[in-house]
Amino acid sequence: MTVGVISHHKCNGHNMGEHHPESPKRMAAIQDQLISSGLEYVIRQYDATPIERKLISLAHDEKYIQHIFDNAPDKNDKDAIFRVDDDTCMNADSLPAALLSAGAAINAVDLVMGKTLRAVFCATRPPGHHAEYDKGMGFCFFNNIAIAAAYAKEKYQLARIAIVDFDVHHGNGTEDIISRASANNKAAGYLFCSTYQSPFYPFKTQESDTPPIINTPLPATCKGREFRAAISKHWLPALEQFKPQIIFISAGFDAHIEDEMSQISLTESDYRWVTDELKIIADQHSDGRIISMLEGGYALSALGRSVVEHIKGLIGN
């Protein structure tokens, strides 16, 4: 099956400093591995288009959006920096990159819902899953996946949307936005499943097996076997019961054994396994519809190899 890959070279203009792990080199590492994977005959590449500002408010507070637009450095001010938190900042190219990253998620929804493709991977940055309703943090400004999920719901009237997140950090921003939507409307139609090292950044998460939030903490000693067991026990039954009409994946690869961001020791075969499992559910309940968004992953070689295995899983056999 052909899989779409959406990216944009302007995502590389966003640079938070020479030694910052969320670096433009991540995109090059992914592209290099994709080229050498020989998968080009089953991948269709797209350039992202910037999101319309009004769509960001599907998931974020208007005052927060205005705050970002007001403070993002102007494109003519190449030395200016706007700091969102201690390790998250914007340069003159960051806002255009953030609009492309969120725009890729919207493009992906239109491609999948328009039946052009059944699965799409968005290789863009900045990532999004730490961005809360009214607060950017943890390398994230806008919550790309929560915006896209709300867009899929509004434009295509989807009633059951699953978002799963296997980044090594909890997707606190996505939980915040989904929980607010679900509190305001009991039939909001979201299921959010997240695995993450615990205790670990952002240190604000409660374990939960109660929909719409399935929070599955993993110990620092976790290896592939325990990761697979946790997914099999906590995510897969909840997804089977929920019968999602589309599955969104916050695909962070920073739990890889080579990634110094965390202590968990996964390998690319674990990312292939979880993708295969999600594809089985998507094929059964969602007409195969899967949209995956890049989140973390900072060991460049491991990131590229893991993305290739993840995309092979989306392609299927």
Query: What is the C-alpha separation between 246 and 249, in angstroms, rounded?
Result: 10
Q: Which single residue is written with the structure tokens 């109660």?
A: 210
Pattern 139-168, Zn ion, x by CB under 5 A: ----------------------------x-
Asked whether the bond before 126 is cis by omega within 30 degrees of 0, the reply is: yes
Min dist. Cβ of residue 168 to Zn ion (A): 5
Min dist. Cβ of residue 156 to Zn ion (A): 29
The answer to whether 252 contacts Zn ion (rule: CB under 5 A) is yes
DSSP code of 265? Answer: B
Q: Tell me the β-bridge partners of 218.
A: 197
Number of residues that bind Zn ion (CB under 5 A): 5
The residue among 126 and 296 lying less far from Zn ion, judged by its C-beta, is 296
With contact defined as beta carbons under 8 Å apart, do 180 and 208 qualify? no
* Alpha-carbon Rg for the chain in angstroms: 18
Query: What is the C-alpha separation between 67 and 135, in angstroms, rounded?
Result: 10
Min dist. Cβ of residue 219 to Zn ion (A): 17
Residue 214: helix, strand or coil by DSSP?
Answer: strand
The answer to whether 296 contacts Zn ion (rule: CB under 5 A) is yes
Region of 45-53, 114-122, 152-160, 289-297 interacting with Zn ion (CB under 5 A): 289-297
Amino acid at 107: N
Min dist. Cβ of residue 251 to Zn ion (A): 10
The answer to whether 259 contacts Zn ion (rule: CB under 5 A) is no
**Cα–Cα distances in Å, from 27 out to 223, 250, 296?**
26, 16, 12
The answer to whether 313 contacts Zn ion (rule: CB under 5 A) is no
The residue among 254 and 270 lying less far from Zn ion, judged by its C-beta, is 254
The residue among 22 and 118 lying less far from Zn ion, judged by its C-beta, is 22
Active site residues: 130
The residue among 286 and 306 lying less far from Zn ion, judged by its C-beta, is 306
Region of 100-108, 172-180, 235-243, 252-260 interacting with Zn ion (CB under 5 A): 252-260
With contact defined as beta carbons under 8 Å apart, do 184 and 218 qualify? no
Scored b (16 or more CB within 10 A) or e, 63-93 reads ebbebbeeebbeeeeeeeebebeeebbbbbb
Q: Indicate the residue whose CB is closest to Zn ion.
A: 296
Pattern 165-204, Zn ion, x by CB under 5 A: --x-x-----------------------------------
Residues 6+ apart with CB under 8 A from 262: 168, 169, 197, 200, 220, 254, 255
Region of 41-49, 153-161, 268-276, 296-304 interacting with Zn ion (CB under 5 A): 296-304
Residue from 93, 254, 277, 309 binding Zn ion (CB under 5 A): 254
The residue among 19 and 63 lying less far from Zn ion, judged by its C-beta, is 19
The residue among 176 and 254 lying less far from Zn ion, judged by its C-beta, is 254
Terminal Cα distance for the chain, rounded: 8
> Contact residues for Zn ion (CB under 5 A)?
167, 169, 252, 254, 296
